């Protein structure tokens, strides 16, 4: 860690204004569910009225959007990183009566860190005792779902996914194209019962460790809004604790639905604690990274005991999902030898090395049922890792990748036998014509368990722009059925992302996810496009900025060309200048067509329009008619 | 214009180093065709050998790529903007004996500008007399093609499209996935005869005005590499002549295959002359913009005579293709009245306004055959404009858009009757599930004439990031068969692009075009991905940067994390640090599998591998084995 302990504590008092300032033009609201402690956050964007010059002045109702940013963007919230977020699910978890707080930590490593006084200065100060399922109990959301129980989490999610679409009354906002969902089952309105049913069937997961009561529940499944994950994490080369928490808050500001902490450096345990305690979104990890650190980076020295202890350590901190590379089987490893880029997954290559060194089957595979026992005691979800994913176009859809995917399908069924929530990780680098085959095979092999893909990148030739090469693949695979997209930043293949890269990566992926939702026909997706386009057409510049994914960037770009505030209400585009605006000309066409009763042009033509044409010209036919 | 005349001439002496410095790691080469004056430019990227630690050290042959940058990136070339580029096609054009230089300009407006002494200071100094076809002759490449003539331009294009794939001997570079081309006909190697045949059939165009002999010929058609267009141009709000020439050179540096000059401001005629004389790529324009300026912005005052004079004025300057909105028919206009964003094409709205004001049919439609006569006298290609393209997701694929497309199909057949080269413009804003319908309908209605689309943007909600929203749609429609993609910059909907925006837009579109080529199975596409990925796997950092679309950006990003030069030869990725590199671990797996004969793992398992496992460990099993 770069920061001195005192420096850390100082930094922990305050996030930068850049990551916490309210998002322009909107306010945080909470939609109450069936009980007073069920308060679903949304962001409500205030809209200005349609100006008088375009006909009758009419108000535009505020527009609600999904909000991942947690309390950080709420000016009324008090943020104290050293205290952590409030535990909004604590009562729900306690009420279920199937788990209890422990006397102390169950993992050996966790205890050794707790006992090490040297760590006091970097330790998260407000630790609470971990909870675990009572003996013989299963605390997974899937377990409840299969027993017919609609949890508060499920109700919360139903409200959240609908984004108050049911409150919209303007017909033009509800207008939408039929989607093509490739066999997904998108209901017109999402009900708590629908959420329960999807979780019970394994088609969706609610990552929600009982030791992470701070989360605002969310769901990952192909019949819900497409989600986006952002990776953060320090490494030997870079980044300290305070910096990672700042990145977390920045990531959720720009729309990360979950965050993976991929730290591999020093103080990995303490960094994770700070992140989880301050995260309103589910946190995922790759436990093998930490396990490897415990054996000084020697993959061949890894053991089941060390790994098991790591799972428990992290589960008791509150990690919501674990990437487990249990599909990297010994027999698949040599299938990668002739690849152009071999094995590019860190977890995959660690396990490949272990398998070859011992000439034994992957211990994650042989101990898979024991892992399930741990998962269900805390409700940690599986993210079954694709350790053999292709690292370049040439290696896409090969025998190693698809062999592993078949094994992940087999493991999914085992996890489901234990009522453990499961999603499946996918590639990687795949040219466009091979993307659908990935999705179809995943759905088939894994019984519609949610797919969670990295990109895929659709070409290898653009280092520095892989957020774009991969947003193309992400939008497509999201459309085909992928439930969550793992972002890629511009630094992919080149370096570690900084804060600016996190924003660029998230924007590319929010675009991909939304494009996918539109194409699938998600009921609440197109309303925002319609609202923004109407604002654009009516030159409501501020509304256009605020309805966009990044109001700050939109405003900044507009100001570069037309910096004056007066131009925000200008009735022309900054591209064409005041005398040459197609939007304005169109408006004239519309007024003319409406005012003169020529909406039915066929009829109008019959009536002979020469006279009307003369009238139009006599009126001025001007772009800037004042009324 | 912002610049003072003296300032302009000073600026014209020199482009900035930023736009002309050689592209790192490569040099300009010329591949000679069947005659000494047929020299096809390419960029040859030097590669370092595969390092010894990965087996036998072996050289990597230099890699050739398509190069749009003209002589500007050639340190041996002498650039004088005030003299213009050398007229490399001049002799080819003269040799055909079907056109002759004119005494003076044929257009009234052109003559009035030539006679206006006040313009001397901003006029391009080295004007040459324009050429025109002899009476009764047709100088279009389509006309030659249909008469069985393979022009030097066609041979040039065949060499250029192949990118020297025929010289590659390394099998791993030639490895590629079967493409899915949706009925395109991609040959294994492109011959001059194939080029001729495609142009004759109207499936491809070679924009090449006889008054633009400076161009390096290129082709637009679905059976060739997907092309990218960049728009530049000043407006009332911004930008002067020197700035536009600088943007042109920057655009071709980053891969623009053609450039459209969309200027609407003052000195539109003189700006265009500077641009054409210094452009090695075809230049397109939208003549109606200038025609409108001639009537002080009053659409209803436009006349056929003014428009005709504008076409001739621009054709004699050397514009290679004209956007002509001849499909905006009177009966389609009212179909836009209930749209969310009406008519968003500038040209479309001008003509809609004209049609309504006069209640007559669009004069471009009624005079279409006269336009064809002008086109074939100079070999200007049609880009039939989609004036009714959708401006938002809600308006996609509606009756107005598709009605116009049907009319464009009708006009294509008329143009072909005159042997006038023709492409068709397409949308716009289209959600993913509706993109293919656009392509399929275009192919059907327009007899496979090349499609030239703006994006499409796959969502409306990301102002500030529309290069990404649209790169997704562009990659897909390129895959489906679009021949040229018109770029969109991050400033779309917000402001005029500056130089940095031009680069961002082009990179997004080069990615989309290449992803499309890969997916279609273009024979020369995947080799570059393979070369780059091999370099990446072998930690040949410099090669990875230089094989990428933007070597400067890749290097800069890498340097942010690991700035020292030593790290460019580091055998680890900057993401993971020296002790945790999956690429390196994979290399161990590969060496092991190869060295110990376990490539056939099934057999290896049978033999019992415990002993070999022990050996592997005894060797160190280290990431950093030195040899």
A536 and B469 in contact by Cβ < 8 A?
A: no
Chain A residues closer than 8 Å to B464 by CB: 548, 550, 553-554, 556-557
Question: pLDDT-derived band of residue A496, with 50, 70 and 90 as boundaries?
Answer: confident
Closest chain B C-alpha to A226 CA, distance in angstroms: 14
With CA atoms as reference, report the closest residue to A448 among A222, A119, A207, A155: A222
Reference B625, options B34, B144, B55, B3; nearest CA is B55
Express each pLDDT in B469-487 by its tens digit. Answer: 999 999 999 999 999 999 9
What is the pLDDT confidence band of residue B625, given thresholds at 50, 70 and 90? very low
Neighbouring residues of A533: CB distance < 8 A, sequence distance ≥ 6 = B340, B341, B391, B392, B393, B394, B429, B460
pLDDT tens digits for A164-206? 999 999 999 999 999 999 999 999 999 999 999 999 999 999 9
Percent of chain A with pLDDT over 90: 74
Residue numbers in B near A511 (CB within 8 A)? 458-459, 462, 465, 468-469, 472
DSSP structure string for A384-453: E--TT--SSGGGTT-HHHHHHHHHHHHHHHHHHHTT--EEEEE-SB--GGGHHHHHHHHHHHTTTPPEEE
Average pLDDT of span A327-335: 94
pLDDT of residue B574: 47
Which among B292, B392, B519 has CB closest to A432? B519
pLDDT the model gives residue B337: 87
From A241-255, A337-351, B438-452, B583-597, the region with the lowest mean pLDDT:
B583-597
A496 contacts on B by Cβ (under 8 Å) = 561, 574-575
Which residues lie across from B216 on neighbouring strands? none
Q: Find the closest chain B residue to A480 by CA distance.
A: B433
Region B8-23: mean pLDDT is 76
Question: pLDDT (tens digit, 9 = 90+) per residue, A544-558?
Answer: 999 999 999 999 999
**Closest residue, chain A, to B466 (C-alpha):** A511
pLDDT tens-digit readout, A132-145: 999 999 999 999 99
Average pLDDT over residues B256-265: 91
Closest by Cβ to A357, choosing from B433, B536, B617 = B617
Per the structure block, which two tokens stand in for A365?
């595979």
CB contact under 8 A, A590 and B526: no
What percent of chain B is helix, strand and coil (3-state, nearest 5)? 45, 10, 45
The three-state secondary structure class of A32 is strand
Give the pLDDT band (50/70/90) at residue A57.
Answer: confident
pLDDT bin (cut points 50, 70, 90) of residue A627 is very low
Helix, strand, coil shares of chain A, percent, nearest 5, are 45, 10, 45
For tokens 């075009």, name the residue.
B513
Contact A536/B392, CB-based, under 8 Å?
Answer: yes
DSSP-based three-state secondary structure for B486: strand
Query: Between chain A and chain B, how many beta carbons pairs sit less than 8 Å apart?
Result: 485
Looking at mean pLDDT, say which of A52-56, A231-235, B329-333 comes out highest.
B329-333
Q: What is the pLDDT of residue B18?
A: 83
Binding residue numbers of B for substrate: 231, 260, 289, 325, 345-347, 386-389, 425, 452
- A468 pLDDT higher than 90: yes
Q: Which helix (H) or strand (E) holds B298?
A: none
Q: pTM of this prediction? A: 0.93
Contacts of B26 in chain A (CB under 8 A): none
Burial classification of residue B304, based on how many CB atoms lie within 10 Å of its CB (0-12 exposed, 13-18 middle, 19 or more buried): middle
3-state secondary structure B208-249: CCCCCCCCCCCCEECCCCCEEEEEECCECCECCHHHHHHHHH
Look at A436-440, B9-13, B229-233 and tell me which has the smallest mean pLDDT.
Answer: B9-13
pLDDT at A162 over 90: yes
Label residue A266 by pLDDT band (50, 70, 90). confident
Contact check, Cβ <8 Å, B300/A621: yes
Least confident residue range of A14-23, A499-508, B568-577: B568-577
Binding site per annotation, positions of B? 231, 260, 289, 325, 345-347, 386-389, 425, 429, 452, 493, 573, 576, 581
Q: Do the chains contact at A236 and B579, CB–CB below 8 Å? A: yes
Which of B346, B334, B303, B329 lies closest to A612, judged by CA? B334
C-beta of residue B168 within 8 angstroms of C-beta of residue B527: yes
User: Residue B294 burial (CB < 10 Å; 0-12/13-18/19+)?
Assistant: middle
Tokens linked to B613: 């496992």
Q: Hey, what are B381's tokens?
A: 């290609």
Inter-CA distances, B96 with B150, B198, B214, Å: 12, 21, 17
Element (H, E) at B423: strand B422-426
In chain B, what percentage of residues exceed pLDDT 70? 86
The region that residue A460 occupies, defined by phi over 0 for left and psi between -120 and 50 for alpha, beta otherwise, is alpha
CA distances from B534 to A458, B42, B527 (A): 17, 22, 11
ipTM of the complex: 0.93
Whole-number Å distance between alpha carbons of B341 and B383 = 24
Please give the biggest Cα pair distance in chain B. Answer: 92
**Residues A353-397: pLDDT tens digits?**
899 889 999 999 999 999 999 999 999 999 999 999 999 999 999
Which among B177, B495, B558 has the least Cβ separation from residue A396? B177
Average pLDDT of chain B to the nearest whole number: 89
pLDDT in tens, B380-389: 999 999 999 9
pLDDT of residue B306: 98
């Amino acid at each position: 860690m770069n920061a001195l302990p005192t420096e850390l504590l100082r930094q922990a008092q305050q996030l930068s204004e850049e990551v916490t300032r309210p998002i322009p033009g909107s306010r945080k609201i909470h939609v109450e569910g069936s009980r007073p402690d069920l308060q679903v956050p949304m962001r409500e964007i205030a809209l200005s009225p349609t100006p008088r010059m375009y006909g009758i002045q009419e108000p535009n109702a505020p527009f609600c959007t999904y909000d991942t940013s947690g309390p950080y963007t709420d000016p009324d919230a008090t943020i104290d990183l050293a205290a952590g977020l409030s535990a909004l699910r604590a009562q729900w978890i306690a009420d279920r009566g199937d788990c209890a707080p422990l006397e102390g930590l169950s993992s050996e490593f966790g205890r050794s860190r707790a006992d090490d006084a040297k760590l006091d200065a970097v330790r998260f100060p407000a630790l609470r005792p971990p909870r675990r399922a009572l003996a013989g109990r299963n605390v997974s959301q899937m377990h409840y779902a299969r027993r017919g129980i609609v949890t508060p989490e499920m109700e919360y999610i139903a409200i959240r996914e609908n984004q108050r679409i049911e409150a919209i009354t303007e017909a033009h906002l509800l207008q939408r194209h039929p989607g093509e969902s490739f066999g997904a089952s998108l209901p017109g309105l999402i009900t708590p019962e629908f959420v329960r049913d999807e979780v019970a069937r394994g088609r969706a997961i609610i990552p929600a460790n009982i030791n992470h009561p701070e989360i605002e529940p969310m769901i990952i499944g192909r019949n819900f809004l497409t989600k986006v994950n952002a990776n953060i994490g320090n490494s030997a080369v870079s980044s300290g604790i305070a910096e990672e928490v700042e990145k977390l808050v920045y990531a959720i500001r720009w729309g990360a639905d979950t965050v993976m902490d991929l730290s591999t450096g020093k103080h990995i345990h303490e960094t994770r604690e700070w992140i989880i305690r301050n995260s309103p979104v589910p946190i995922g990890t790759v436990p093998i990274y930490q396990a490897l650190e415990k054996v000084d980076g020697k993959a061949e020295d890894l053991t089941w005991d060390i790994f098991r202890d790591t799972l428990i350590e992290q589960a008791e901190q509150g990690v919501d999902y674990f990437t487990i590379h249990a599909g990297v089987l010994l027999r698949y490893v040599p299938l990668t030898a002739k690849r152009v880029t071999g094995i590019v997954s860190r977890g995959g290559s660690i396990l490949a090395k272990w398998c070859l060194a011992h000439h034994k089957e992957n211990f994650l595979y042989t101990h898979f049922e024991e892992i399930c026992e741990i998962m269900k005691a805390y409700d940690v979800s599986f993210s079954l890792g694709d350790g053999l994913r292709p690292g370049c176009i040439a290696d896409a859809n090969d025998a190693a990748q698809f062999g592993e995917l078949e094994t992940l399908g087999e493991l999914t069924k085992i996890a489901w036998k234990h009522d453990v929530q499961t999603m499946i990780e996918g590639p990687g680098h795949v040219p466009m014509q091979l993307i659908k085959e990935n999705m179809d095979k995943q759905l088939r092999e894994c019984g519609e368990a949610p797919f969670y893909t990295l990109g895929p990148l659709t070409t290898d030739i653009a280092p520095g722009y892989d957020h774009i090469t991969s947003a193309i693949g992400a939008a497509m695979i999201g459309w085909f059925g992928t439930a969550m997209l793992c972002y890629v930043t511009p630094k992919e293949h080149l370096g570690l992302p900084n804060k600016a890269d996190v924003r660029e990566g998230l924007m590319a992926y929010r675009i991909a996810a939304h494009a996918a939702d539109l194409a699938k026909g998600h009921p609440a997706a197109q309303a925002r496009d319609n609202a923004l386009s109407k604002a654009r057409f009516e030159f409501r510049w501020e509304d256009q900025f605020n309805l966009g994914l990044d109001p700050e960037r939109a405003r900044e770009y507009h100001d570069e060309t037309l910096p004056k505030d007066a131009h925000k209400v200008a009735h022309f585009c900054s591209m064409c200048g005041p005398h040459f605006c197609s939007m304005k000309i169109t408006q004239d066409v519309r007024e003319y067509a409406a005012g003169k009763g020529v909406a039915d042009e066929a009829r109008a033509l019959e009536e002979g329009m020469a006279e009307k044409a003369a009238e139009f010209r006599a009126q001025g036919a001007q772009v800037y008619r004042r009324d």
